[in-house]
Amino acid sequence: MATFRKNTRKPRKPARNGKKAPAKRSRTKRGRRRTGRSRLSRFVVPLVLVAAITGVYLLYLDHKVRTGFQGNRHAVPAQVYGRPLELYPGAKISPGQLEAEFQRLGYRKVTYPKRPAAWSRNRDRIIVRTRPFTFWDGQASGRYLDLDFRGGVLNSMVDGKGRPQALVRLETPKVGSIYAAHNEDRVPVDLDEVPEILIGMLISIEDRAFYSHHGVDLKAILRAVWANLKAGGVVQGGSTMTQQLAKNLYLTRKKSLWRKLNEAAMALIIERRFSKDEILTAYLNEIYLGQDGSRAIHGFGLASHFYFNRPLDELDLPKLALLVGIIRGPSLYDPRIHPERAGKRRNLVLDVLHRQGIVTAEQKNRAAKAPLGVVKRGKKGGSGYPAFLDLVRRQMRRDYRPEDLTSEGLRIFTTLDPEIQQQTETALSERLRKLEKRHRLPVGKLEAAAVVARSEGGEVLAVVGGRRAGYAGFNRALDARRPIGSLIKPVVYLAALMLPDRYNLVTKLSDDPIRVGGKDGSVWSPRNFDHKNHGEVPLHLALAKSYNVATVRLGMDVGLKRVLDLLGHLGIDRPVQAIPALLLGAVSLSPLEVAQIYQTFAAGGFRSPLRAIREVQAADGSKLQRYPLTVSQVAPAGSVYLLNRNLQEVVRSGTAKGLSAFLSDQLNVAGKTGTTNDLKDSWFAGFSGNRVAVVWIGRDDNKPAGLTGAQGALRIWGDIMRRTDPVPLDLPRPESVEAVWVDPMSGLRADARCEGAQEFPFIRGSAPDTDASCVAEANDPLSTLFKRIFK
């Protein structure tokens, strides 16, 4: 049965005219409701969209903050250290040289040293308290040392109880950092390493509400706005330390409203994610405090070294106040450029500290009178040794990724000797100026490079990449591959002397003209530098006088392949074209590569790959990798001995005799000049008893330098050696070598009594077995008597 719903709707009233009234009113209400909803949606939807975008952006910022904060605050560049200076009775070191080392280490000169890193001097007596230091082979505690000098030598060394000390190492000087491409450097500090007064200064000057706000301090912002309005300019900032940290970590220094909004948002996120101590530690290590050329100075640890050459925990009140004052404007208050302005800013900081009861009036007044104490600016780029650090980087890349070098805080102990480096730089720059003046060459056009290493072991002691040694740029010592000219000749002569059944030092060589045909039908006719030919000459004289024609004849007889193979054994691993011109130096090598060749000569035929690194440690001091000495014999000791005696003759009476103007003949150094066509390159390579060095002079545009090897590079080489106390070259004679008297005219065996006879070394069994006529005469008493009478 169907059911029907009762209609409860009231019937419409009929219209007055009897017609049915339209439902106009109801439709109007529904339309108004729809219009209201559409208007509301026009506001709500964008708001929701903005909120969603803002939320997503804040999530992005949160991710950026978390990953960046954890990553960037631990991105610590590798710290590079030089050699430690060893002190022992008998060490050849003067008080002045030791003072220079103290300056490199940032030690203070005082009346009497009571704290570490301080020293005093009274004539030839020095008292020092050293810092503790972790070397690659263990921890060394700080020491009290009383040093007495006599005549440029350390005469005695005792500790605080008067006990003699046999050997003490000073800490290794820091010589640079390896930082990333954005050129940010740091010396990280932990919160417990920072002087307490520095924390108080930062809170008082930069962020009084640091421990109470949540990243942004509205009161400080309003206070800064009011102060700036009254002053008519920006005199006060309202950023908290957390905001400053956000700016340093993630944002640019360009001022804009968008950057300030991002800065505030990031500050709030940082405060939510990390503790106050973590934020403060990051601030101490990240705040921007200056610029050193292209290198940005971040953090108080690095700024302490940059401005004062001391660790942060050794700074006193006025120096700490200066660093805090610099925060407001590192360029504006740069104490080296604007010392008066920086001093006023420091004193303003001291006034605030006094008003807040952090320092007494006496402390404030004494600190305000103190000098700024800023050391002279080091060479730009963060290191005075860019060429050497370049070598360190290249050797490190064999075992480490680039990001490891720039972010893991590695400690790299190197072989650099800062004293030898300094003397090499000085000799090179001063001599270049003198050469340009003496030979009337264009001022500033000559360039040069130098490498100094230990003869035994191949430890690189100094690298100079150009006349402006302290500036990073093209490293000529490593990358300027230039024809080496006559520096190749010892390789040719050694290849011959390794064939003792065919060649010895007195073997006659022809210096008559020669024509060498090429595969393409061309003919090469080498000439001597003096444009003369000298007939038959003994092998030793051909090298001493650097005769080109005799050398080419010798090399062609020995064979190009043999010369090339020997060049490879001596350490040259690059492809070299097997052409006759190779015998006169038509091979382009860098000064470092040439140093490797001559190191092998200096070590008696034992090659040690040139190395700049001793050991690498992790940031916590644990050992990562050692770079031990490796030695391989690549040439017979006897043959190399003969060559080295010949190279001593080059210096004594050959093309390098000009060294006598710089060095005593008693040093018996060995070496070889090198000159290339049109005088484009000037070379000298040689060695003393303890060091091998190579010098190159030329022009970057490859135009003629206008100098022979003897006129140019030899003079820098001699000046370097003169300044660095070389050890005499005493060549121990191998068992395979014997000394035999020879008549230089005939090349036959002679006797000590023969007139004009000379003693030469020979590989046993290779000396002349035929006696010269003078031997029989020397053994005939009657003949000797007649000679004396008629003489």
Structure confidence by residue, pLDDT tens digits, 118-149 = 999 999 999 999 999 999 988 999 999 999 99
Answer with the residue of higher pLDDT: 5 or 400: 400
> Are 499 and 492 in contact, with CB atoms under 8 Å apart?
no
* Cα 216 to Cα 245: distance, rounded to the nearest angstrom: 12
Question: Does 91 share its domain with 60?
Answer: no
Q: What is the pLDDT of residue 528?
A: 97
Question: Does 126 share its domain with 209?
Answer: no
Q: What is the pLDDT of residue 5?
A: 44
| Helix, strand and coil in the chain, % to nearest 5 | 40, 15, 40
Residue 770 lies in a domain: yes
**Backbone torsions φ then ψ of 669, nearest 5 degrees:** -65, 160
Predicted model pTM: 0.84
134, 150, 171: which is the final residue of a domain? 171
CATH number of the domain within which 115 lies: 3.30.2060.10
Q: At residue 394, does pLDDT exceed 50?
A: yes
- Mean pLDDT across 233-243: 69
Take residue 763 and report the two structure tokens written for it: 């590989």
- Any alpha helices (H) in 161-213, and if so which ranges? 196-206
Helix count and strand count (H, E) for the chain = 24, 32
**Backbone torsions φ then ψ of 672, nearest 5 degrees:** -150, 135
Take residue 642 and report the two structure tokens written for it: 């003969």
- Mean pLDDT across 437-447: 95
Q: At residue 763, does pLDDT exceed 90?
A: yes
Which residues are within 8 A (CB) of 170 and not within 5 positions of it... i.e. 6 or more apart?
84, 85, 86, 87, 101, 105, 130
Element (H, E) at 414: strand 411-414
Q: How confident is the model at residue 51 (pLDDT cuts 50, 70, 90)?
A: confident
Question: pLDDT (tens digit, 9 = 90+) per residue, 671-712?
Answer: 999 999 999 999 999 999 999 999 999 999 999 999 999 999
- Mean pLDDT across 271-287: 89
Question: pLDDT (tens digit, 9 = 90+) per residue, 146-169?
Answer: 999 999 999 999 999 999 999 999
Q: How confident is the model at residue 460 (pLDDT cuts 50, 70, 90)?
A: very high
- Mean pLDDT across 392-421: 87
Take residue 72 and report the two structure tokens written for it: 């960037």
Q: At residue 19, does pLDDT exceed 60?
A: no
Q: How confident is the model at residue 71 (pLDDT cuts 50, 70, 90)?
A: low
Q: What is the pLDDT of residue 177?
A: 85
Residue 46 lies in a domain: yes
- Kindly state the DSSP code that residue 114 receives in the 8-state scheme: -
> Are 306 and 297 in contact, with CB atoms under 8 Å apart?
yes
Question: Does 185 share its domain with 156?
Answer: no
Within 251-364, strands assigned E span 288-292, 295-298
302, 336, 369: which is the final residue of a domain? 369
Residue 195 lies in a domain: yes
Residue 380 lies in a domain: no
Q: At residue 223, does pLDDT exceed 90?
A: no
Range in 58-62, 264-268, 767-771 with the lowest mean pLDDT: 58-62
Question: Does 159 share its domain with 194?
Answer: no
Question: pLDDT (tens digit, 9 = 90+) per residue, 96-109?
Answer: 999 999 999 999 99
Looking only at the bridges linking them, the beta strands covering 670-675 and 682-687 are: antiparallel
Question: Does 164 share its domain with 313?
Answer: no
Question: Does 269 share its domain with 138?
Answer: no
Looking only at the bridges linking them, the beta strands covering 295-298 and 184-185 are: parallel
Q: List the beta bridge partners of residue 109.
A: 119
How many CB atoms are located within 10 Å of the residue 658 CB?
16
- Mean pLDDT across 227-249: 71
Q: How confident is the model at residue 1 (pLDDT cuts 50, 70, 90)?
A: very low
* Cα 697 to Cα 683: distance, rounded to the nearest angstrom: 6
Among residues of the chain, what percentage have pLDDT more than 70? 88
36, 52, 73: which is the final residue of a domain? 73
Question: Does 363 share its domain with 272?
Answer: yes
- Mean pLDDT across 422-449: 96
Average pLDDT of the chain to the nearest whole number: 88
CATH number of the domain within which 360 lies: 1.10.3810.10
Question: Does 95 share its domain with 240?
Answer: no
Burial (0-12, 13-18, 19+ Cβ within 10 Å), 360: exposed
Residue 445 lies in a domain: no
Range in 269-283, 330-344, 480-494, 554-568 with the lowest mean pLDDT: 269-283
Q: How confident is the model at residue 542 (pLDDT cuts 50, 70, 90)?
A: very high
Q: What is the pLDDT of residue 788?
A: 55
Question: Does 134 share its domain with 11?
Answer: no
Question: pLDDT (tens digit, 9 = 90+) per residue, 312-358?
Answer: 999 999 999 999 999 989 999 999 999 999 999 999 999 999 999 99
Take residue 209 and report the two structure tokens written for it: 């509400």
Residues catalogued as catalytic:
206, 486
Q: What is the pLDDT of residue 183?
A: 60
* Cα 135 to Cα 139: distance, rounded to the nearest angstrom: 6
Sign of CA pseudo-dihedral 470, 472, 475, 476: negative
Residue 186 lies in a domain: yes
Q: What is the pLDDT of residue 682?
A: 98
Q: What is the pLDDT of residue 238?
A: 67
Element (H, E) at 343: helix 339-355
* Cα 765 to Cα 738: distance, rounded to the nearest angstrom: 9
Question: Does 321 share its domain with 198?
Answer: yes
Residue 14 lies in a domain: yes
Q: At residue 752, does pLDDT exceed 70?
A: yes
Take residue 109 and report the two structure tokens written for it: 């000169």
Number of domains the chain contains: 4
Q: What is the pLDDT of residue 409?
A: 82
Take residue 713 and report the two structure tokens written for it: 């590079």
Take residue 38 and report the two structure tokens written for it: 């559409």
Range in 175-179, 434-438, 510-514 with the lowest mean pLDDT: 175-179
Element (H, E) at 75: none
> Are 157 and 88 in contact, with CB atoms under 8 Å apart?
yes
> Are 723 and 747 in contact, with CB atoms under 8 Å apart?
no
- Mean pLDDT across 592-610: 97
Residue 248 lies in a domain: yes
> Are 516 and 556 in contact, with CB atoms under 8 Å apart?
yes
DSSP string, 745-758: TT--B--TTSTT-E
Q: At residue 26, does pLDDT exceed 60?
A: no
- Mean pLDDT across 11-18: 51
Take residue 457 and report the two structure tokens written for it: 């072991």
* Cα 707 to Cα 680: distance, rounded to the nearest angstrom: 8
Within 82-216, strands assigned E span 86-87, 108-109, 118-122, 125-129, 133-135, 138-140, 144-150, 153-158, 168-169, 174-178, 184-185
* Cα 305 to Cα 339: distance, rounded to the nearest angstrom: 18
- Mean pLDDT across 399-420: 86
- Mean pLDDT across 722-748: 94
Whose tokens are 């509205």? That residue is 218
Take residue 746 and report the two structure tokens written for it: 């005939």
Question: Does 188 share its domain with 164?
Answer: no
Burial (0-12, 13-18, 19+ Cβ within 10 Å), 425: buried
Q: Which domain holds residue 137?
A: 84-171
- Mean pLDDT across 622-640: 92
- Mean pLDDT across 554-582: 96
Sign of CA pseudo-dihedral 664, 668, 669, 674: positive
Take residue 264 and report the two structure tokens written for it: 């505030």
C-alpha neighbours within 13 Å on the C-beta side of residue 657 = 8
Answer with the residue of higher pLDDT: 192 or 637: 637
* Cα 114 to Cα 732: distance, rounded to the nearest angstrom: 49
How would you label 679-692 residue by residue, b for 16+ Cβ within 10 Å and e otherwise?
bbbbbbbbbbbbbb
Take residue 689 and report the two structure tokens written for it: 């008893």
Range in 218-232, 415-429, 551-565, 617-631 with the lowest mean pLDDT: 218-232
Q: At residue 6, does pLDDT exceed 50?
A: no
Question: 285: phi > 0 → left, psi -120 to 50 → alpha, else beta; which?
Answer: alpha
Q: List the beta bridge partners of residue 138.
A: 135
* Cα 732 to Cα 734: distance, rounded to the nearest angstrom: 6
**Backbone torsions φ then ψ of 190, nearest 5 degrees:** -90, 160
Question: Does 13 share its domain with 55?
Answer: yes
